[in-house]
Amino acid sequence: MRKDRIGKLVQILSRNTLYAPVERDGVTTFEKVEKVEDIKFDYQNSDVPPKNVLFPQTETTFKYTLGKDQKIEVPKENGKNIILGIRPCDARSFSILDKVFEKDFLDIYYSEKRENTTLIGLSCNEPGINCFCTSLDGGVGNKEGLDMLLTALEDEYFVEVATDKGKAIIENSPDLFSDASDEHAKKKDEINKRAESLMKRRISVEGIEEKLDKIFDDDLWNEVSMKCIGCSVCTYLCPTCHCFDIQDEATLREGRRIRVWDSCSNPEYTLQASGYNPRPARINRVRNRIYHKYEYYPKNFKVIACVGCGRCIDKCSVNMDIVEVLSRVKEI
């Protein structure tokens, strides 16, 4: 598809609810857009991952009013969503999140949104300084979780379709798309290879599960966790972190139940009503986060709950570096 046709595509796509990267004050987030001018295509990766679209930070599960006209209202999700310009790592995170939101008991809030959302990815021509998706079964051209993937060539986007939803977009506006030639495919492969070779961070995660099993009480965790200040930035900005809390906000006559993001780096996360806290110190919580992503989740779902986007390394104010921690784990 020619790059100058992207405006027309956006116009057609925005008939649904279209989310795309928007920049405000230097911060890129995925927001609802209607015009192509608002979209920022030349971004490395958004600061807040698009998990906000499928798993909102604050989600009303139901509202109620008491009194004579007592009623309970469940907000209805209708309408299709499209996320345009999502990076392959973030899309892969959705396929990882799917596993936990569907295990044993289907989470209707997440899965309804997931079914109604089409993901149109944008491949990375240049990796970020902290990206390490290739070390974790990901890649700049990885289509896992995506419905359609665009790779920016010189004047065109190389479009690859991965699912029926992606096919439907092409069938909806066939005049915007034309067949790609072998040359195009070759150029795309070159761009992908170049991008992956520029990725400086690499870590082998083979056998990490078994290794972590053995070193739970190691002194390493003491060292690593001393500088953590216990804010929630890494958990909120991580595409695969999915902890949440359920709160009731109520006044005398009415109220609502909401699901909100929570973070295991808060001491209150495990604080029990008796006052006892099984994870009282930062060492417990920092160690738990790494174990959850690299041992407990793989034990349950056979996949590491990290996509290598590098946001936690970028945004941590005290330079907690998960890649460095993992390489030290391997050395023990």
Binding residues for other proteins, rule: CB under 8 A, are 24-27, 29, 47-48, 57-58, 129-130, 200-201, 223, 226-227, 229-233, 236-237, 245, 247, 249, 251, 258, 260-261, 263, 266, 268, 280-282, 313, 315, 317-319, 321, 323-324
243 phi and psi, to 5 degrees? -70, 140
As a whole number of angstroms, the distance between CA 57 and CA 161 comes to 30
Largest CA distance in the chain: 70
Q: Which is nearer to other proteins, 25 or 37 (CB)?
A: 25
Q: Which is nearer to other proteins, 10 or 89 (CB)?
A: 89
Whose tokens are 């609810």? That residue is 17
Which lies closer to other proteins via its Cβ, residue 168 or residue 229?
229
Instruction: State the nearest-atom distance from the C-beta of 128 to other proteins, in Å.
Output: 9
d(CA 120, CA 10): 11
Shortest distance in whole angstroms from residue 95 CB to other proteins: 24
Q: In what order do the strands lie in the sheet with 17-24?
A: 27-32, 17-24, 81-86, 117-122, 148-152, 157-161
- For residue 68, the one-letter residue type is K
The beta strands (E) that lie in the chain are given as 17-24, 27-32, 58-65, 71-73, 81-86, 117-122, 148-152, 157-161, 244-250, 254-261
Residue closer to other proteins by CB (options 108, 318) is: 318
For residue 129, the minimal CB distance to other proteins (Å) is 6
Question: At its nearest, how many Å lie between other proteins and the CB of residue 59?
Answer: 9
Token pair recorded at residue 330: 């391997």
In the complex, the smallest distance separating the C-beta of residue 89 from other proteins, rounded to whole angstroms, is 18
Check: CB of residue 41 under 8 Å from CB of residue 25: no
Closer to other proteins by Cβ: residue 2 or 253: 253
CB of 83 to other proteins, least distance (A): 19
Q: Which is nearer to other proteins, 25 or 179 (CB)?
A: 25
Angle CA 262–49–194, to nearest 5: 140
Report the distance separating Cα 2 and Cα 175, nearest Å.
Answer: 11
